[in-house]
Amino acid sequence: MTQIVIKDNYRIKHEEYKVMRVKDIMDASPNLIRTSDTFEYLIRMLNEVKYRVIFVVDKEDRLAGIITEADIIKVLIPKYITFDEFLISAMDESYLEKKCIENRDLTITEIMTKTVLSVHEDDTVTKAAALMVVNKIHNLPVVRDSKVVGIVHLINLIRHIMNILAKGSV
């Protein structure tokens, strides 16, 4: 059954309402890395990935953590540096190179953020969007039985919104 609803001078065609689930909009090919992998492997992997977020899985493929670009920079630049302009200016050009070599064998477990928000593939798109807005994040791992099966990124939500608007006639 189709009905026309007039709201704020717009005519919107409503068809049967279907609750959209995360699995309907997610990307089913998330970037994954193992807890035992190294910093060097992570950096090489970044050249090949679609999203600049990598989900960390343990040997049973369960979600264990997340790595963002910010986590990578934190490995190279100590926290106390950000508070002291003098220390920043005292670092020579080779500082970054030295830190990269020094940390190449760090395991992912030592780098990752362990607290990770996630959504289940059967959660609603609205729940995913709310989690992203409230927590000011751009991506969520999608899980089934604690295993990562996808990623919801802001672009997935934007595409979903575009599809909603394309279905209605304005």
Q: What is the pLDDT of residue 51?
A: 81
Task: Convert the pLDDT of each residue in 34-55 to its tens digit.
Answer: 999 999 999 999 888 888 899 9
Structure-token match 């030295």, residue found: 98
- From the CB of residue 14, how many other CB atoms can be counted at a distance below 10 Å? 12
Task: Convert the pLDDT of each residue in 86-143 to its tens digit.
Answer: 566 666 778 788 888 999 999 999 999 998 999 999 999 999 999 999 999 999 999 9
The answer to whether the pTM exceeds 0.85 is no
3-state secondary structure (DSSP) of residue 124? strand
Q: How confident is the model at residue 82 (pLDDT cuts 50, 70, 90)?
A: low
CATH number of the domain at 20-167, please?
3.10.580.10
* DSSP string computed for 48-82: T-SSSEEEEE-TT-BEEEEEEHHHHHHHHS-GGGG
CA distance 141 to 151: 5
Dihedral (CA of 83, 85, 86, 88) sign: positive
CA distance 29 to 6: 40
